[in-house]
Amino acid sequence: MPCTPNAGNSNNARNVNTDGTLNNNNAYIGSGGVRPDLEEFATEYGDEPESREPQQRRAYPSRMGKHKIADVKASADGALTISGKEVFILHEDHTSLSDFERMADFNNLYAAYLDARKGKRWKLAVARFEVNVLENITYIHYMLTTKKYKLSPYNCFMVHEPKERLIMYNSFRDKIVQHSLCDNVLEPRLQKTFILDNYASQKGKGTHFGLGRLKKFMRDYYRHYGADGWVLKCDVKKYFYSIDHDILKSQIRRHIHDPDVLWLIDMIIDSTEGKGIPIGNHTSQWFAVLYLSGMDHFIKEQLRIKYYGRYMDDFYLIHHDKEYLKYCLSEILKYVEKLGLELNGKTSIFPLYQGIDFLGFRTYMTESGKVIQKIRRDSKNRIRRKLKKFRKLLDEGRIDFENILASYTSWTGHAGHGNSHHLIRRMDELFYSLFSKELEGYHGKTNINVERWRRREIGQHKV
């Protein structure tokens, strides 16, 4: 409904007849109110609305600050213009948008910005972007819709835990674009094609979901076959660095057909020369999950393996027949060879009673059918080294106790998903011995069981 500055001063603007007109001529006086828009009313009663030019509206000063009065015009296609200059496209009906329009929509880009900045607002690049966030997002929208968008150069660094990897990442602007691409195109288009037991990079799944499925598989296997069985454990060699660009593009085109989205995806894939995709890209997680999705269906539907699970490049098969697992291994080798991949030396077939090393835990089954999950030995050694290093960094003033608590609490929460009660108690002893002084005066909110430590101290000394 059109609006005038004094519309709120007159009751006549709200007293209308059944035909949509006011009860007097005040409908035509700007100081007395406004005449309601009859288009929706006429359509409701079967009348065709009169054809007219797009409505002219005027933006007035806001109480939030000083603004210049400018003519604002919304065209029929949703383009918003201020003083003759197009700003961005306003879309009210998101169901009619193409994949690219949905990804490049201003509101979706802003939501992607909110996701991309989580945990990073202290960084200089994020702070600079945030100073003029609306202008920057409008500029991203303009660059995408005009096909002038290009990726910024990669920055690189190495990580050494749990193993050495090269991490490549783009600018914060590129992270926003990739977040929007994943949330509005890749996730809704690709996730519905994945099997349930593909656990990586999907909402509602993850490491703990995969561990729960493995435990369920072992219990179900015991009810059907007992404790005797065999496991085929596989791992792909240098998975991210071996993904073929052309094969990946052909897989994506089976599910995504919008040429504008494919233009952006191809640009991201071809941003590195030769084989491989950067581990630091947000899109790389979805590309890697998709790349072996066909193998998931092959193992489940053609090889008929019921007890199968995969997390990125790490997967297992459980079966009661060792010879059939050997046949499955030969078929899997043929399949991954077509994708330009190969399995590494960790791939092997072994008895089920030895347990399965998967997602940071060793899961095994007793003769009575009880399933036990214990955290891996290298994870135990890593947290011991980490706590001792934290003590040194704290003494040097390079870290605060809040961050140490957050890190240790995260590890205990992860370890608590398995049968790790005694391990956590031993780690608590080490933690309390290293940081007893800080814990004495600590009164902040935390998930760490400080009260257990205090009860232990009281138990040693009669009160």
Q: What is the pLDDT of residue 19?
A: 53
Q: Which fold has domain 196-375?
A: Alpha-Beta Plaits (3.30.70)
Q: What is the pLDDT of residue 430?
A: 92
Rounded mean pLDDT of 297-326?
A: 96
Using 50, 70 and 90 to split pLDDT, how confident is the model at 165?
A: confident
Residue 83 has pLDDT above 70, yes or no: no
For residues 129 and 136, is the Cβ–Cβ distance under 8 A? yes
Using 50, 70 and 90 to split pLDDT, how confident is the model at 161?
A: confident
Rounded mean pLDDT of 50-75?
A: 40
**pLDDT digit string, tens, across residues 192-243:** 999 999 999 999 999 999 999 999 999 999 999 999 999 999 999 999 999 9
Distance CA 168, CA 280 (A): 5
Report the half-sphere exposure of 116 (CA within 13 A, side-chain side).
31
Residue 179 has pLDDT above 70, yes or no: yes
* % residues pLDDT > 70 (the chain): 75
Q: What is the pLDDT of residue 14?
A: 46
Please count the helices (runs of H) and the strands (runs of E) in the chain: 19, 13
Q: What is the pLDDT of residue 23?
A: 53
Residue 53 has pLDDT above 90, yes or no: no
Q: What is the pLDDT of residue 160?
A: 77
Average pLDDT, rounded, for the chain: 81
Rounded mean pLDDT of 119-148?
A: 94
Burial class from Cβ neighbours inside 10 Å (0-12, 13-18, 19+) for residue 144 reads: buried
Closest CA to 168 of 2, 282, 90, 245: 282
Domain residue spans in the chain? Answer: 99-182, 196-375, 377-455
**End-to-end distance of the chain based on CA atoms, in angstroms?**
75
Q: What is the pLDDT of residue 92?
A: 47
Return the residue matching tokens 């098969």: 317
Interacting residues of 169 by C-beta distance below 8 A, sequence separation 6+: 154, 155, 175, 278, 280, 281
Using 50, 70 and 90 to split pLDDT, how confident is the model at 97?
A: confident
Joined together, the tokens standing for residue 233 give 């454990």
Using 50, 70 and 90 to split pLDDT, how confident is the model at 70?
A: very low
Rounded mean pLDDT of 71-85?
A: 46
Residue 11 has pLDDT above 80, yes or no: no
Q: What is the pLDDT of residue 315?
A: 97
Q: What is the pLDDT of residue 436?
A: 86
Return the residue matching tokens 């602007």: 173
Residue 310 has pLDDT above 80, yes or no: yes
Closest CA to 88 of 14, 18, 143: 143
Q: What is the pLDDT of residue 449?
A: 56
Joined together, the tokens standing for residue 226 give 């007992």
Given CA atoms 188, 312, 240, 297 in this order, what sign does their dihedral have? negative
More confidently predicted of 199 and 156: 199
**pLDDT digit string, tens, across residues 379-437:** 899 999 999 999 999 999 999 998 998 899 889 989 999 999 899 999 999 998 999 88
Using 50, 70 and 90 to split pLDDT, how confident is the model at 372?
A: very high
